[in-house]
Chains A and B, each alone.
Chain A
Amino acid sequence: MSDIFPKWTNKLPTRVIAGALIAGTTVFAGITYYATPKYTRVGYQPVQPVAFSHAIHVDQVGLDCRYCHNGVEKSWYSNIPAASTCMNCHNQILANDPKLALVRESYNTGKAIPWVQIHKTPDYVYFNHSVHVNRGVSCFSCHGEINKMDEVRHAQPLSMGFCLDCHRNPEKNIRPPEQVFNLNWHTNEAAQLQLGEKFVHDWKVNSSQNCSACHR
């Protein structure tokens, strides 16, 4: 038989198995690490047509989220403000700044500013902003420290697992209603749980895990 199978073939099965194991493990690890919104979405930070900084407007100037995103408490989506909202201040502040040329053009002609959408749920997901912010879920829970961002960055995976984590344990993210738009409000874990459990009970929070809660 040694004419047909030379001696090195004796080790072939072990080598094939070892090679397959190494390859399989790395491929598995790679898919686990990369094929998830934690990799594909988190960190998405497109270049916007106007270099708007949340850090300046919220953290330094102290505007409330709802000055610009005024529909967030009433509507299922949180609106990008109209150029007229910007011009309430920027008709005098930085009135001739070239960085704001697109805003002025939009204000004067009605041409839309081509903002790049960052947080995008799939079209079969019906996330409702008003329900969440009116029941104590802060902007912070899904958008991270957006008040400190010079350029908006996708901070959380916003995957189905991310939604379900909170829908299974809403008490971890429910805060006093007056602190929902105060992104600097933080408390320790024990106090958060105590508060959260109280709110879940008092407000009869029913964070549904039915498919139809989000998928229609």
Chain B
Amino acid sequence: MRYFLPIWILIVAVSIGVLGFRESVLRKPPIEVFPDMDRQMKFRPQVPNEFFRDNRASRLPASGTVARSEPRRNVAGGAVVYSYEDHPVNSGKMTGTTNWVELNPTVIDAQSMARGRQRFEINCLPCHGPLGDGNGVTKKLGMAVVATLHDPRIVKMSDGELFHVISNGRNLMGPYASQLAVEDRWAVISYLRALQFSRLGSLEDVPAQFRASLNK
């Protein structure tokens, strides 16, 4: 006992010293105590894979390919439109031409408006600001030019052109096609139109029962 106890206490102290405590910062990958089948011969999304030249396991669709299933929901008139079709809802252009469509080809209702607002606030608000006036947080951080969406140039833009700008970007604004689904882009456009209308309207546009609350 005379030898055992001090030695044991030393062992325990050294172990604690080496292993540390729970919740301390660990820079090395976690030890997997029972690693049976934890890591299998398969690839999860966005992991590296040296087989391909770009070292990515996740592959992009070959360029020019279009998804063939899943019709667009929410197209006005209840039409079934697939993503490969030359339809305004996919391109923002009138079928068979290069002219922008004037009006949003999707159904605009309270639901799509709410969705548009939500997506606007996620994707557009950082730069264009909650009111769309170009006073987003990025302006304070050094973003030089952010368009105000109430600019007459943009108010007069057709819905199709707006769709094109959101999808492909313009000037310093990047493309949002990969962040916003087609339906969401149109929903954002309908919400944007509401934002613009709120600046253009007069008191007569407000339903009679709400006018009093505006004068407060």
Chain A residues within 8 Å of B, Cβ to Cβ: 15, 18-19, 22-23, 26, 30, 33-47, 61-64, 66-67, 70, 77, 79-80, 82, 84-85, 87-89, 91-94, 110-112, 114, 117, 122-124, 153-154
Bound CA–CA A42/B24 (angstroms) = 8
3 closest Cβ contacts across the A-B interface?
A88-B174, A122-B38, A123-B40
Bound-complex Cα distance A66 to B180 (A): 11
With A23-B8, A61-B126 as contacts: A94 and B30 at CB distance below 8 Å: no
Question: A153, B1: Cβ atoms under 8 Å?
Answer: no
Q: Hey, which chain B residues are within 8 Å of A110, CB to CB?
A: 54
In the assembly, what is the distance between CA of A9 and CA of B119, in Å?
80
Known contacts A40-B32, A84-B178, A91-B174; A112/B138 CB under 8 A: no
What B residues does A67 contact at CB under 8 A? 122-123, 126, 179
**B170 at interface (Cβ–Cβ under 8 A)?**
no
Cα separation A114 to B56 with both chains bound (whole Å): 10
**How many positions in chain B have a CB within 8 Å of any CB in the partner chain?**
50
- Which of B4, B15, B47 interacts with A30 by CB under 8 Å? B15
- Smallest beta-carbon distance B203→chain A, Å: 31
B137 touches A62 (CB 8 A): yes
Contact present for A91 and B33 (CB under 8 Å): no
- Which of the residues B56, B122, B175 comes within 8 Å of A84, measured between beta carbons? B175
Which residues of the partner chain B approach A43 to less than 8 Å between Cβ atoms? 22-26
Instruction: List chain A residues, Cβ under 8 A from B141.
Output: 61, 89, 93
Is B207 close to A, CB under 8 A? Answer: no
- B135 CB, min distance to chain A CBs, angstroms: 13
A64 to B39, CA, bound (A): 32
Contact, CB under 8 Å: B138 / A89: yes
Query: How many angstroms between the C-alpha atoms of A82 and B48 in the bound complex?
Result: 14
| Distance between Cα atoms of A61 and B140 in the complex (Å) | 10
Contact of B179 among A46, A63, A85 (CB under 8 A): A85
With A92-B172, A112-B54 already in contact, the answer to whether A46 and B4 are too (CB < 8 A) is no
Chain B residue contacts of A39, Cβ below 8 A: 19, 22
Q: Does B78 have its Cβ within 8 Å of any Cβ on chain A?
A: no
Distance in Å: Cβ of A91 to nearest Cβ of chain B: 6
The answer to whether A93 touches B138, judged by C-beta atoms less than 8 angstroms apart, is: yes
| A67 to B176 alpha-carbon distance, docked (Å) | 10
Residue of A nearest to B11 (CB): A26
B175: nearest chain-A partner, CB-CB: A84
Q: Is B126 a contact partner of A62 (Cβ separation < 8 A)?
A: yes
* Distance in angstroms between the alpha carbons of A94 and B179 in the assembled complex: 22
CB distance from A32 to the nearest CB of B (A): 11
Residues A77 and B37 in contact, CB atoms below 8 Å apart = no
* In the complex, residue of chain B having the shortest beta-carbon distance to the beta carbon of A92: B143
Contact A82 B127 (CB under 8 A): no
Shortest Cβ gap from A10 to chain B (Å): 14
Given contacts A84-B174, A93-B141, contact A63 B25 (CB under 8 A): no
B77 at the interface (CB under 8 A from A): no
Q: Write out the residue numbers on chain A whose beta carbons fall within 8 Å of the beta carbon of B37.
A: 122-124
A sample of 17 more A-B contacts (CB under 8 A), given A45-B26, A114-B48, A124-B37, is A15-B1, A22-B8, A26-B12, A30-B15, A39-B22, A43-B23, A62-B137, A64-B121, A64-B122, A67-B126, A77-B46, A79-B46, A88-B173, A92-B172, A112-B54, A112-B55, A123-B37
